Amino acid sequence: MTLIKPFRGMRPIPEKITEVASPPWDVISTEEARERAKDNPYSFLHISRPEIDLEPSIYAYDRKVYAKGAENLKRFIEQGIFIQDEKPYFYIYKLRMGTHVQIGLVAIASVEEYVRSKIKEHEQTLPHKVSDRANHIDSLNAQTGLVFLTYHANKKINDLIQKGIKEKPVYDFIGDYQVQHTFYIVDNETLIKKFEMAFLELDALYIADGHHRTAASARVCEKRKAANKKHTGNEAYNYFLGAIFPDSQMQILEYNRVVKDLNGQSLKTFLERIAEKFEITHCKSNCKKQEDKAYRPSKPHTFGMYLQSQWYFLNAKKDILSYTNPIEQLDISILQNNLLAPILGIEDPRTDDRIDFIGGIRGTRELEKLVNEGQYTVAFSLYPPSMNQFMAVADSGEMMPPKSTWFEPKLRSGIVIHTLDETNGY
């Protein structure tokens, strides 16, 4: 069984890459996407978020939305904005964010190996989001978003990557947050074969980000397989598009929480109940090293809390810590099980509309802003989980709590897509 394969990528022409490349569809809202793309007809958001080209009142999952995405992709191809490589290649994607650098291989990965759990997941998916992405893939006949994958760092693969980046990149540009995106084509047949064999030796790949895209690709594969009496297993729909980085280069930022109210409690009662499980300190006196006393935890089992224009430092008491279960050890679980659920009444953060989640790239300033403007009453900053914790949960077959990991830097969408045409079989 093949774990990954090269593919005939559909890519923007180099002179249009900065106009085309856009944030992933799931990290910005429809309103943000509409604003970003309004003066840019070449933004990939017209393909990944096609509802921005329809009336605001239209239902986000209406069939017209997917039809518009297919229409926009066709337009990009007909106008020569997108071209398809003549042969199957691997690609190398390098990201630089400040001093942080990560370099990974872009390939198509086996749906069958995902189903067999050699490609491991750590996050539960929401049925309506899987259906949305499956309809998007099916309608466009293409996978337009990269699944963010990782693996235990491997010297053989790293050496191959270094060989692959000796050539001149096809793209090199600066995106959001001053992240440098550099993209290379691996067209050397010998190197391509070595990559295939090296990845086949891995015990597993792990989905870091893109669970809904992966599950959607598997659903489309199942549908097309059932409809194809001549199915061979080599068709393009048997694979999904991914960018694969070693765990040693991955960077997880915190995924913070904001809550709309104190669950009917006074401030005094709220703090008293927290004090049963956490040691509380006002950051006015204890957090002098934090810029303007905005508390960003610097070690596990500590939390920042912003409430009524003040930061508090929360340190979990030893008797609430568990070391027997990889999920219970996570700071997100500690906060959920000892504060959000019993004190604030947030039993299921997936469905409770009183809570929202703020990616760490937006910083503690965003938490302050949301509370100060009155949109939320209390905010919590967390220490991010480690790569070892994330992979241990996946290895155990368990699922991380919702909104546990925020990987940075984010991949750009529109750099390369994987078409599911009959001619793109392997």
Decide: 17 and 171 in contact? Cβ < 8 Å: yes
As a whole number of angstroms, the distance between CA 313 and CA 316 comes to 10
- Using DSSP's 3-state secondary structure scheme, residue 49 falls into coil
As a whole number of angstroms, the distance between CA 273 and CA 154 comes to 47
Predicted local distance difference test score (pLDDT) of residue 16: 98
Domains and CATH numbers, the chain: 4-251+408-424 (no CATH), 252-406 (3.30.1760)
Does position 287 have pLDDT exceeding 60, yes or no?
no
The overall pTM is greater than 0.85: yes
- Which is more confidently placed, 317 or 425? 317
Neighbours of 127 (CB within 10 A): 9
- Tens of pLDDT, residue by residue over 384-416, are 999 999 899 999 888 888 888 889 999 999 999
Decide: 410 and 27 in contact? Cβ < 8 Å: yes
As a whole number of angstroms, the distance between CA 307 and CA 277 comes to 18
As a whole number of angstroms, the distance between CA 221 and CA 77 comes to 24
Predicted local distance difference test score (pLDDT) of residue 329: 87
Confidence class for position 375, pLDDT limits 50, 70, 90: very high
- Using DSSP's 3-state secondary structure scheme, residue 183 falls into strand
Please name the amino acid found at residue 57: S
Does position 426 have pLDDT exceeding 60, yes or no?
no
The rounded mean pLDDT for the chain is: 93
Residue 212's contacts (CB-CB under 8 Å, 6 or more residues apart) are: 26, 125, 126, 129, 130, 132, 133
- Token pair for 187: 């067209």
What separation in angstroms does the CA of 184 have from each of 82, 167, 181?
17, 7, 10
Confidence class for position 291, pLDDT limits 50, 70, 90: very low
- Tens of pLDDT, residue by residue over 111-131, are 999 999 999 999 888 899 999
Decide: 160 and 191 in contact? Cβ < 8 Å: yes
DSSP secondary structure code for residue 51 in this structure: G
The CA-CA-CA angle for residues 93, 115, 112, to 5°, reads 70
Residue 292's contacts (CB-CB under 8 Å, 6 or more residues apart) are: none
